[in-house]
Chain A
């Protein structure tokens, strides 16, 4: 933005709009609030003498995008919505929102529709996402009602494309349907995500722990599971365990 008085397409001067998306760390009120930043520097112990110690602002993930998404994203979205409609599904029910950020497209899928959406993405000739690169769990304790996220990346070798599916489940009901029947490669990946996050993948053929011992208590990658560790002595000084050290967020 070379001219500070310039206005965008909506006639708003983005430099004077408090809800503008171009302010540092501000994304309007879109996107999931994943945590709350307090103070100026994010130090979580010791005093904040900057004068901004009372600063409170939510940190939000990138919010929903509106059409056009750009490039081949629109084509994939159109094809997917069309294919779902053909199966008698209302696309708005299956795909909660679509986020385009950093050159990647993410479809947030309602969990009950995940297997149907995955099968469509794999089998529709215009989509053909043959390869699933597994599932990655993410735990957002601050995202109430949607604490557990399961993130899938699908690759189409035919069309040379990559998309992301994101599904969420509340902590109180950590169930997500398994897509092993669509992508057998997800067998171990879902076991791993179950092991580390406690997400139960319904209809998985044998959902057992894969990394941790079978009798392990808890799910280690969750944010409420401590890292552990002991203080160590280095050159005469006591160095606290990694999760006890001064840190910034």
Chain B
């Protein structure tokens, strides 16, 4: 498109090619009027629009293939795989502990759920589920619930942005940043934490973290009602969201949709209640539902889930007792206590002094565990956690070695995205964006 270099602000021309499939137009800017005029003269009404994979409102590199008649979508299909990074294959070439570093990068908006699900699966294979220290489980719950809030904030923020509601977007990202600050304080990173490891946690909460999170909860008690004021009763917002992206309970069950989509169809299914893990049975919280089966219902469910998560976070803070955060078994536990040095993360100097100066066996043990890893008895296990998006399942298979034989993730975004066709076909083109936003797919998780 050389014309755009010569006149950078001139509208781009719609390119036209003739292929075996018919005429193909490439539209990149504000030249829809011209295109509509051209196509309007054509004999056939059947138009296939290729939306994405690079499009601001498709949540990353999602490609939507829409067959439209006028403004109505007659058929909708997804093209995925543009962000496939071979994480499951790569994990077969690393130790079980190194796997945490990979899984955290799948659905990059819910890294702590990925890590927790993976850690729980490896622990089940090792048979050490009961030996995980109480403090580690409480911190896992704390981190997962904070992560649920940050993920839902992005869902609401980007969903709003796609409707043109930029205030919601700014608010959402502003509040998410508060949570990422807390993550950075606790894990050292805003994203890609590798904080929850098989056997426990990479390290304990740093000094001041509890107070920081308490302040955070206070801020959120003040900020969350703003979304209600901005959006919940807003007639324009409701007009765009209500009855859009409709999927009832039967559709959800057939297509395997879980999470807010299922709960907005009226079924209070939540793995935290149904199959508790990390001690969720000891926390007091509600599972919000809606019965509208539409995008608006999903928005309301997410909003209420954030309030419930705040309740759980507060209970976690009250529940924290001093203690270890890694399993006591020295054959599994990462040998060093990490300490935050002036140059960032590092091994604690006490530990280095001990293994280098006083105990040859400790040095050998440290070296073997870190380079070789621990062995996991042969067998397979499936664990699932209720991620912000639905059932995040992990199927791990061990052949008795120091590396996984196979790790498979049932990412909720992947399964939920399948419902796009059922939600969009027969609706308007403009509603496709709303419906996809209400699914909240994250392509890092879909493609892995």
Seen from chain A, the residues whose Cβ lies within 8 Å of a Cβ on chain B are 25, 27, 31, 34-35, 37, 41-42, 59-62, 101-104, 106, 130-134, 136-139, 151, 153, 155, 157, 160, 162, 164, 183-189, 192, 196, 209-213, 220-221, 227, 242-243, 247-249
Chain B residue nearest in CB terms to A241: B93
- 11 residue pairs A–B, Cβ–Cβ below 8 Å: A59-B378, A59-B399, A59-B400, A101-B379, A133-B384, A153-B395, A157-B269, A183-B256, A211-B80, A227-B90, A249-B403
Q: Are B255 and A242 in contact (CB under 8 A)?
A: no
**A17-B415 Cα distance, complex, nearest whole Å:** 48
Chain B residue nearest in CB terms to A246: B371
Interchain pairs with CB closer than 8 A, number: 131
Q: Are B89 and A220 in contact (CB under 8 A)?
A: yes
Q: Are B274 and A160 in contact (CB under 8 A)?
A: yes
A192 contacts which chain B residues (CB < 8 A)? Answer: 414
B90 contacts which chain A residues (CB < 8 A)? Answer: 227, 242
**A143-B262 Cα distance, complex, nearest whole Å:** 39
Chain B residue nearest in CB terms to A197: B406
Partner of B255, one of A136, A185, A196: A185
Q: Are A160 and B406 in contact (CB under 8 A)?
A: no
Q: Are A249 and B94 in contact (CB under 8 A)?
A: no
Given the known A-B contacts A104-B381, A183-B256, are A136 and B408 also in contact in the complex, defined by CB atoms under 8 Å?
A: yes
Chain A residue nearest in CB terms to B274: A160
**A210-B447 Cα distance, complex, nearest whole Å:** 9
Min CB gap B89→A, angstroms: 6
Q: Is B391 in the interface zone, CB < 8 Å from A? A: yes
Q: Are A157 and B382 in contact (CB under 8 A)?
A: no
Number of B residues with CB within 8 Å of any CB on chain A: 50
Q: Are A185 and B379 in contact (CB under 8 A)?
A: no
Chain A residue nearest in CB terms to B393: A133
Min CB gap B247→A, angstroms: 12
**A207-B146 Cα distance, complex, nearest whole Å:** 39
Q: Are A248 and B401 in contact (CB under 8 A)?
A: yes
Q: A59-B399, A134-B410, A188-B418 are known; give 9 further A-B pairs, CB within 8 A.
A: A103-B124, A106-B380, A133-B391, A138-B405, A162-B275, A186-B256, A196-B88, A227-B89, A243-B93
Q: Is B373 in the interface zone, CB < 8 Å from A? A: yes
Q: Are A131 and B256 in contact (CB under 8 A)?
A: yes
Chain B residue nearest in CB terms to A192: B414
**A212-B84 Cα distance, complex, nearest whole Å:** 8
A162 contacts which chain B residues (CB < 8 A)? Answer: 275, 382, 384
Q: Is B187 in the interface zone, CB < 8 Å from A? A: no
Partner of A184, one of B255, B267, B275: B255
Name, among B92, B256, B372, the residue most crowded by chain A CB atoms within 10 Å (CB to CB). B256
Q: Are B256 and A248 in contact (CB under 8 A)?
A: no
Partner of B378, one of A34, A153, A164, A187: A34
Given the known A-B contacts A184-B255, A220-B86, are A42 and B393 also in contact in the complex, defined by CB atoms under 8 Å?
A: no
A187 contacts which chain B residues (CB < 8 A)? Answer: 418
Given the known A-B contacts A130-B253, A185-B418, are A34 and B275 also in contact in the complex, defined by CB atoms under 8 Å?
A: no
Q: Is B324 in the interface zone, CB < 8 Å from A? A: no
**A212-B399 Cα distance, complex, nearest whole Å:** 27
Query: Which secondary structure dominates where chain A touches chain B?
Result: mixed
Report, nearest first, the 3 A-B pairs whose CB atoms are least far apart: A185-B256, A136-B408, A249-B401
Q: Is B125 in the interface zone, CB < 8 Å from A? A: yes
1/0 per residue B382-408: CB within 8 Å of A?
101000000101010101111101101
A242 contacts which chain B residues (CB < 8 A)? Answer: 90, 93-94
Chain A residue nearest in CB terms to B254: A184
Q: Are A248 and B372 in contact (CB under 8 A)?
A: yes
**A212-B81 Cα distance, complex, nearest whole Å:** 6
**A164-B124 Cα distance, complex, nearest whole Å:** 15
Min CB gap B62→A, angstroms: 13
Q: Are A185 and B406 in contact (CB under 8 A)?
A: no
Min CB gap A247→B, angstroms: 7
Chain A residue nearest in CB terms to B377: A25
Chain B residue nearest in CB terms to A37: B400
Partner of B395, one of A25, A136, A227, A249: A136
**A164-B408 Cα distance, complex, nearest whole Å:** 14
Chain A residue nearest in CB terms to B125: A102
Partner of A153, one of B81, B84, B382, B447: B382
A153 contacts which chain B residues (CB < 8 A)? Answer: 382, 393, 395, 410
B254 contacts which chain A residues (CB < 8 A)? Answer: 183-185
Q: Is B127 in the interface zone, CB < 8 Å from A? A: yes
Chain B residue nearest in CB terms to A244: B93
A101 contacts which chain B residues (CB < 8 A)? Answer: 379-380
A221 contacts which chain B residues (CB < 8 A)? Answer: 88-89, 406
Q: Are A42 and B415 in contact (CB under 8 A)?
A: no
Q: Which residues of chain B in 349-390 are interfacial with respect to chain A, using CB atoms and an 8 Å cutoff?
A: 372-373, 377-382, 384
Q: Are B408 and A211 in contact (CB under 8 A)?
A: no
Partner of A151, one of B125, B258, B395: B395
Chain B residue nearest in CB terms to A136: B408
**A85-B98 Cα distance, complex, nearest whole Å:** 47
1/0 per residue B61-96: CB within 8 Å of A?
000000000000000000011001010111011100
**A130-B253 Cα distance, complex, nearest whole Å:** 7
Chain B residue nearest in CB terms to A142: B399
**A59-B378 Cα distance, complex, nearest whole Å:** 7
A247 contacts which chain B residues (CB < 8 A)? Answer: 93, 402-403
**A139-B88 Cα distance, complex, nearest whole Å:** 13
**A100-B88 Cα distance, complex, nearest whole Å:** 26
Given the known A-B contacts A134-B410, A220-B86, A248-B372, are A157 and B267 also in contact in the complex, defined by CB atoms under 8 Å?
A: yes
Given the known A-B contacts A184-B254, A185-B254, A212-B84, are A136 and B406 also in contact in the complex, defined by CB atoms under 8 Å?
A: yes
Name, among A136, A162, A196, the residue most crowded by chain B CB atoms within 10 Å (CB to CB). A136
B84 contacts which chain A residues (CB < 8 A)? Answer: 211-212
**A5-B88 Cα distance, complex, nearest whole Å:** 46
**A137-B407 Cα distance, complex, nearest whole Å:** 10
Name, among B378, B393, B402, B403, the residue most crowded by chain A CB atoms within 10 Å (CB to CB). B378
